[in-house]
A = this chain, B = another copy of it.
């Protein structure tokens, strides 16, 4: 998606060889027109797939999940919660997700009340690197006996194995921008 690629080239900051910092438009300060455009692009790519709901994980996944839901005619959005919660109840699907950003293992949870057997689910997330978060969400979709339509990702780190491994398993992964690497602080798309 050209607008996103341009934004990454102009504004994203590479730290070391691994960290792509996009908090100036995606995951701290939100560029709202860009968020809407990304939702519209996911809608175009998955509109023929007759989805019932969009699944993401808090926090920044919520942004594009919501704009995608709006572009697809106000589909419901479910966001998996991280860690222990009082208010979500005990009747949940869970998966373990290792976060490389925060260097800790998180439990993600989705209430069994909302993800129902047979639903056609589109997963949306902002980043795909090692694929840990996505594998956790996919695991939950399978526990719930739903159909995974595919995964829509804003930014994929092409040099990390997540995207390749998931596609090899036959999972449809659509990334709006694939980052090739970091050179002298510049992010190469």
Chain A contacts to B: CB under 8 angstroms: 15, 19, 21, 23-24, 27-33, 35-36, 58-60, 62-63, 66-67, 69-70, 74-79, 81, 83-89, 101-103, 110-111, 113-114
**Alpha-carbon distance between A111 and B129 when the two chains are bound, in angstroms:** 24
Contacts A28-B78, A59-B79 given; 4 further ones with Cβ under 8 A?
Answer: A23-B88, A32-B75, A35-B66, A87-B101
Residues of B within 8 A of A66 (CB): 30, 32, 35, 63, 66-67
Considering the complex, give the chain B residue whose CB is closest to the CB of A87: B21
Question: Is there contact, CB below 8 Å, between A102 and B77?
Answer: no
A14 to chain B, nearest CB (A): 12
Question: Is there contact, CB below 8 Å, between A24 and B59?
Answer: no
Question: Is there contact, CB below 8 Å, between A86 and B69?
Answer: no
Residues of B within 8 A of A75 (CB): 32
A17 to chain B, nearest CB (A): 14
From B19, B21, B36, B113, A24 is in contact (CB under 8 Å) with B113
